[in-house]
Structure 1
Amino acid sequence: MNVADLCAALVRIRSENPPGDTREIIEFIRQFTDSLGIATRVIHRPEGRDNLVTFPANGRLLFCGHVDVVPALDDGWTMDPWGGELKEGKVWGRGATDMKGGCASILAACREFIDSGRELPADLAFVCDEETSGTHGIQALLASKCLVPCDTIVAEPTPAHSPNVGQKGLMRLCCRFRGEPGHGSLYPAKGVSAVMEAFSLLDFIRGLHEREYRPADPAIARIITESSAILRELFAMEDTKRVLTHVMYNPGKIEGGEKANIVAQQCSLELDLRIPWGCSLPALLGEIRCHAPRAEISVTNSSDPTITPPDSPLVTRLLGEIEKVYSKHARPIVQWAASDARYLRNAGFPVVEYGPGEIRTLHAIDEHVTVESLEKAVLVYEGMLARYALM
C-alpha cells in the first residue's frame, strides 16, 4: 500500500467531529504500526474518542496528526466525500488535506525508514479531537504525561516550501443578550431588542477589526511580512498582511427573537476572534464587555499567539530537508488559524507544522490532496528521521 492508497484508506474511514468517534480509524493505524513493530497504546476517551501514542516515548522527535475531520454534506461535491477516490493524480474526500494526508505521510515515512533496517528515532501521536476543542485529544495526552517534550512536527497542511512556525491567538465567545419585549409596532420608540443589541456588538467588533497591531519582537514582524506575501500567492487575495496583524472575526452562529411582531427578548451569538501578536486578550475582552454591559459574555476557548523561533534547530533542520527534496529555497511562515500546535508550544515543545495538502480546499467542497505532495512529504519526513537517528 503506497502513501496515496494509505491516504485513500484513511479517508474512507469516517471520523467526523462531531460526534468524534475515532475508534475505527485508530484501530486501522494501530494495526499498521503493529505490522512495523512499533509499540503503541490506545488512550480511550469518552464516546469512542480514541487516541494512539507510541510507548514508551523516546523524547527525540515527535510526529503528531489528528484523525478527526469536519463534517461534510454530499451537496455540491463532484466526488464522494467519503470515497477516497484516486483520480487526476489526487486523493479526493473529506480529510484528504486536513489532515489524513499528513497522517498517511507520517506512517509511510516510518515504514520506509524501518524497512531500510533502521530503528525509528521518533514518537508518534494520532489524536481524536483537534477539530473541536482538543480536550479529548492532545490536551488529554499532555495532562496524562503520555508525551515527552521534544522537537515536534505536526503534519497539518502547509505550503510546500513553507513550514508554519507560529499561529495567531484565538478567543471564542458565547454572548447572550436580553431585551425588553413589547409590540413590534412601537419599536424602536419602546422596548429593547436583544437582536439589535447583538448587532450593536458586531458593529463594535467591526470597528476593532480596523486596528492594526504590531508585535514588539522585530523577528516576528519580519516573518509576518514574509508570510503575507506567501499567503497572497496561496489565496490570490489582496491585503493579506491584515489577516495577520488585525483581529479577524466571524459571527459564526446567531439565534434570536420570538416572532416578527415582538421586540426580541433574547438573542445568542457565537463569535470567533483571531488574535494577532501585540494584542492583549484580557484588554480586548474588557473592551467588548464594556461595550455590551447588559450581555452575558463567556469565553469558551482562548489562547495567546504562539511561535517557535525561526532560527531554532528544529526549524533549521526541516528547512534543510524541504530544500533537499524540492531543490528550492524554503522559508518559514506564521499562520492565521490555530491547531494543536499551540497546546504543545505552551507545554514546552518546540513545534513546527509541515504537511501535504491543498490548503484552498481545507474544510471545503471537493477537498483533495495531490499524490505528489504526499510522496514529497514522505521524503521530507524520512530526511528528518535520518537526522534525528544520528542524535
Structure 2
Amino acid sequence: MITVDEVVQLCQELIRIDTSNPGDHSGPGERVAAEYVAEKLAEVGLEPQIFESHPKRTSLVARIEGEDPSRDALLLHGHLDVVPARKEDWTHDPFGGEIADGCVWGRGAVDMKNMDAMILAVVRQRLREGRKPPRDVVLAFLADEEAGGKWGAQWLVQEHPELFEGCTEAVGEVGGFSLTVPGDRRMYLIETAEKGIAWMQLTADGTAGHGSMVHPDNAVTALAAAVGRLGSHEFPIRLTKTVRAFLERACMAYGVEFDPDDPEKCLAEIGPLARMIGATLRNTLNPTRLDAGYKTNVIPQEATAQVDGRFLPGYEAEFFATVDELLGPDVRRDFVHHDHAVETEYEGALVAAMESSLTSEDSGALPVPYCLSGGTDAKAFARLGMRCYGFAPLRLPPDLDFSGMFHGIDERVPIDGLQFGVRVLDRFLDRA
C-alpha cells in the first residue's frame, strides 16, 4: 500500500532548488533540479536520460516498463522551472520550502513542483515494492515551460521524438484540483482543452521629427490608437464542447439553471475560479508592453507594443481576422510566441481511471472536464498525436484561492492535499 510521507520532503527539496525562468537564459536553469530528480529515480532502479538543449536548460526522461509492454504507453510530464519571485513580497521565503499553517510554501508549490513531487513519491514507492504499472509509463521532467517550452518539451519533441515512442496519452499539470460545491461535495477539474497562445509584437512606423512641430505621421499616435482598439475589444462568446460540458455540470452542482444564451451568469457561483473559467468563454487580447522614443522632444520613427492574445480551440482563424481588422493598415504584427489550442474528448478508459481514482479517495468527488485559459507542455505532446489531460489531483480546503496562486505570491499547497494526490495517482497508475 502506498505511503504518503515522502512527498512532503520531496516537494520541499524541489522548491529549495531555484529554477526561476525569466524568459531568457539569464536564470539559474533547471540543471540542478534535473540532476536531483535523476538521482531519486536512479535510487529505485530507473535509468533516466538527461538532455541539455542549451547550457543549464535541462530536461530528464525515463521509462518504466509495464506489465504489458505491447500496450500503448502513457506519458506523465511535469516542468521543473518556475516563474521568478521577490523574497520581500512573500510571507515566507519563496525558495525556502517552509511548512506553515499545514502547507508547504514556496515558488512552485502550486506551479508545479507539487505534481513533480507526487510523481516522484508514487514512482519511488511502487518501484521499491516491485509494482509495475499495467503498461509502459514514460516520465518527463521538463525545462522552460514557463516561457513556452522552446528549450524543454518543444525541443524534445522535435529533436528526440523517439523518447515518446508508443505514447498515445499524456497527463500533466493544471487539473485534478478540487472546488467545493454545496452539499459537502467537490468538483475536480480535469483539463481536456486549453486555449492557443498568440504573444505578438506590434510595430508602427512614422517619420522622426521635432516634438514642437505639427506632425501627422506620428508612430506613437498610430500605435496607441491600435493598442486601444485591441485592449477594449470584447470578443463574442463561443461555447466550445469542453466549456459547455463544464458549465452544465457546474450549474447542476450549484443548483442553478444553465442558460446557453447567457452562460456567464453562473460564473458568480464558483468564486475566484470564475476568472479562469470566464476567460474560456471567448478569445482574449491584453496589451502588456509599450515602448517608443528616447527623448521627450523627439518624435520617434518607430513605436512598439506587445500583446498577449489567447484563442479558443476551433477559433484561431476568427481570432486573427479580428486582430488584423483592429490593427488597421498602419501597424504590423509579428509573433513573440505562437502555439496552437488543444482539445480532446472527455471519454475513454483513461478518463474512467481518473474518475474512479478520485471517487475511491473522496466519495464526494464530482469529476468535470474544463478548458484552461493558459497553456502547458501538452501543446508540444499533442503534436505527436497524444490525447493530453491535466490531472494533478489535490483535495483543497474550500477557502483556498488555488487558481489565484498560479504565478502569484505566497504559493502554498496543503500537506494533506499532497498526500491525497499521492494516493489518487497510485490508484490511477493501477487503472490507467
- Which residue in the other structure is 1:376 paired with? 420
Which of 187, 205, 209 does residue 178 from structure 1 map onto?
A: 205
Q: CA deviation at 1:318?
A: 0.6
Residues 73/142 of structure 1: CA separation in 2 closer, same or farther (3 Å cut): same
- The one-letter amino acid paired with 1:40 is P
- The one-letter amino acid paired with 1:335 is L
SS at match of 2:334: strand
- Which residue in the other structure is 1:223 paired with? 246
Residues 219/369 of structure 1: CA separation in 2 closer, same or farther (3 Å cut): closer
For residues 248 and 224 of structure 2, what CA distance do their matches in structure 1 show?
A: 33
- Which residue in the other structure is 1:348 paired with? 385
- The one-letter amino acid paired with 1:285 is F
- Which residue in the other structure is 1:82 paired with? 95
SS at match of 2:45: coil
For residues 363 and 177 of structure 1, what CA distance do their matches in structure 2 show?
A: 31
Deviations 1:70-95 (A, max 9, x none): 11112321111111101111111111
Which of 95, 119, 125 does residue 112 from structure 1 map onto?
A: 125
Residues 156/288 of structure 1: CA separation in 2 closer, same or farther (3 Å cut): closer
Unmatched 5+ residue regions in structure 1? none
Residues 111/248 of structure 1: CA separation in 2 closer, same or farther (3 Å cut): same
Matched residue count? 382
2:311 aligned with 1:311, yes or no?
no
For residues 274 and 64 of structure 2, what CA distance do their matches in structure 1 show?
A: 46
Contact 1:128-1:137 at 8 Å conserved across structures: yes
Deviates more, 1:44-53 or 1:298-307: 298-307
Residues 11/293 of structure 1: CA separation in 2 closer, same or farther (3 Å cut): same
- Which residue in the other structure is 2:405 paired with? 361
- Which residue in the other structure is 1:126 paired with? 141
Q: CA deviation at 1:10?
A: 0.2
- The one-letter amino acid paired with 1:172 is W
SS at match of 1:331: strand
Residues 210/61 of structure 1: CA separation in 2 closer, same or farther (3 Å cut): closer
- Which residue in the other structure is 1:243 paired with? 279
Task: Compute the TM-score of the two structures, normalised by the length of structure 2.
Answer: 0.81
Task: Compute the TM-score of the two structures, normalised by the length of structure 1.
Answer: 0.89
Contact 2:393-2:424 at 8 Å conserved across structures: no
Which of 108, 128, 136 does residue 95 from structure 1 map onto?
A: 108
For residues 276 and 299 of structure 1, what CA distance do their matches in structure 2 show?
A: 18
2:43 aligned with 1:35, yes or no?
yes
- The one-letter amino acid paired with 1:22 is E
- Which residue in the other structure is 1:284 paired with? 319
2:334 aligned with 1:294, yes or no?
no
Contact 1:101-1:369 at 8 Å conserved across structures: yes
For residues 306 and 408 of structure 2, what CA distance do their matches in structure 1 show?
A: 21
- Which residue in the other structure is 2:289 paired with? 253
Contact 1:63-1:155 at 8 Å conserved across structures: no
Contact 1:209-1:248 at 8 Å conserved across structures: yes
For residues 91 and 241 of structure 1, what CA distance do their matches in structure 2 show?
A: 26
For residues 105 and 234 of structure 1, what CA distance do their matches in structure 2 show?
A: 27
SS at match of 1:222: helix
Deviations 1:144-200 (A, max 9, x none): 1111322221034553211111111121111122222333344xx523332222222
SS at match of 1:374: helix
Which of 210, 223, 227 does residue 202 from structure 1 map onto?
A: 227
Contact 2:246-2:368 at 8 Å conserved across structures: no
For residues 190 and 105 of structure 1, what CA distance do their matches in structure 2 show?
A: 61
Q: CA deviation at 1:49?
A: 1.0
Deviates more, 1:38-47 or 1:229-238: 229-238
- The one-letter amino acid paired with 2:53 is R
Q: CA deviation at 1:56?
A: 7.5
- The one-letter amino acid paired with 1:201 is A
Contact 1:213-1:277 at 8 Å conserved across structures: no
2:34 aligned with 1:7, yes or no?
no
- Which residue in the other structure is 2:57 paired with? 49
Q: In percent, how many aligned pairs have the same letter?
A: 25
Superposition RMSD on alpha carbons, in Å?
A: 2.5
